[in-house]
Structure 1
Amino acid sequence: MNGIQLIVGLGNPGAQYEATRHNAGFWWVDQLARQHGASLKLDSKFHGLLGRARIQGQDCWLLEPNTFMNASGRAVAAVANFYRIPPQAILVVHDELDLPPGGIKLKKGGGHGGHNGLKDIAAALGTPDFWRLRLGIGHPGDRDAVVHFVLHTPSRDEMRSIEIAMDESLNALPQLIDGAFEAAMLKLHTKPKTVAKVEKS
């Protein structure tokens, strides 16, 4: 298999965090699980909620770490090591401050951009060379306001934009599972062109 074998959604456990921007990765994996009839169950051995979905005729593991964000790597490394999943077959879905609500970017490797979940996963795997699906949540405009911002609920308009982005990005799952990453990027990064209407005078 050359494609994605493990999809990790990032977030913080607990009801008080469910609707906050930092939990966008959880929202995405929850939606994927609903679409594919998968159920995630708490597995203490893997420090998180783990399930399996059948996509494109292949089994793919779904994981939501049950640790707080800055300790996400413990769960990811536990699953990856047990099932012998290499870093390049892991997709981490996370909130992204540097993209507006509704923005989507797929990339492999690179820095963590101050995201504590990515930072811990790279440390636990011993490499940053895993795939990331970045879900835009916007930026408060002030670095000092970031913690407050990510731990609060998006506005209704922001949430609608994020939901549309999640739907669009889930459409790229077949390519991701098949390892057709360039095709997945093309699908995700190409926005449909709007046709301008010419007003008749």
Structure 2
Amino acid sequence: MKLVVGLGNPGEEYARTRHNVGFVVADRLAQLAGASFSAKKFAAELAEARLGPERVWIMKPQTYMNHSGEAVGAALRFWKLGLDDLVVVHDDLELDPYRVQLKVGGGHGGHNGVKSVNAHVGSPEYARVRVGVGRPPPRMDPADYVLGKFAKGEDAELDLCVEQAVEATRLAVELGAARAMNQVNRRSRAAE
């Protein structure tokens, strides 16, 4: 069994914000798997699905971004899952907009949701699907930038990026992060 977590903030006011791209990917992954977020546990919405041979719980923590790790840690402990069973999808300021990258471990890069997950699972050594949102314009607070909405003209690029992130997540679940990284990151570099 695997746990896929899309990071974001609950509430309509955060829909379509850069910071909620993890929720968007989780929603699309559940949709493609024919699953719905019908369960509520660990202060999160959960959808049970199958990705290839793997049973997967897709999670959207409802604790707000800065406390996402509470839900993730509780779920890992309850289901007795290890860090190699965890895939977290989140926005990343350090990646160019719409670029998708898969990595294991590393720093949180100032991302409070990732920082919270690291603290509550005891390590950063889990798979992360990083979805690039780019850097804010000069003199703009990064928090304001990530809480800003994608422009309507960005729909096509965002949709393609979400599909790439869904595919990266699926590969991480089905192949394991190490094997999936070669495919995902090679594609991401080729698209540059």
Number of the residue aligned with 1:50? 46
Give the conservation status (yes or no) of the 8 Å contact 1:135–1:162.
Answer: no
How do residues 11-160 of structure 1 correspond to structure 2 at under 5 angstroms? 11-43=8-40, 45-142=41-138, 144-160=140-156
CA shift, 1:179, in A, is 3.3
Look up the SS of the partner of 1:171 in the other structure: helix
Displacement after TM superposition at 1:174 (Å): 4.7
The answer for unaligned runs of 5 or more in structure 2 is none
Q: Distance in 2 between matches of 1:174 and 1:23?
A: 19
Measure the CA separation in 2 of the matches of 1:151 and 1:179. Answer: 33
Deviations 1:94-142 (A, max 9, x none): 0011112210110001110000000011101111111110001111134
| TM-score between both structures, scaled by the size of structure 1 | 0.86
State the distance in 1 between where 2:81 and 2:129 align: 18
Q: Which has the larger radius of gyration?
A: 1
> Matches of 1:42 and 1:68 in 2, distance apart?
18
Aligned-pair identity in percent equals: 38
- Over aligned residues, Cα RMSD in angstroms? 2.0
Kept after mapping to 2: 8 A contact 1:137/1:158: no
Give the SS at the match of 2:172. helix
- What is the CA deviation profile of residues 9-39 of structure 1, one whole-angstrom value per residue up to 9, with x for unaligned ones? 0000111101111000000000001101111
The reply on whether 1:169 has 2:162 as its aligned counterpart is no
Unaligned stretches of 5+ in structure 1? 195-201
Contact 2:131 2:165 in 1 (8 A): no
**Aligned residue number for residue 199 of structure 1:** none
Deviations, residues 155-176 of structure 1 (Å, cap 9, x unaligned) = 2344432321221232344532
Of the structure 1 ranges 30-39 and 159-168, higher mean CA displacement relative to structure 2 is found in 159-168
Q: Which residue of 2 aligns with 1:198?
A: none
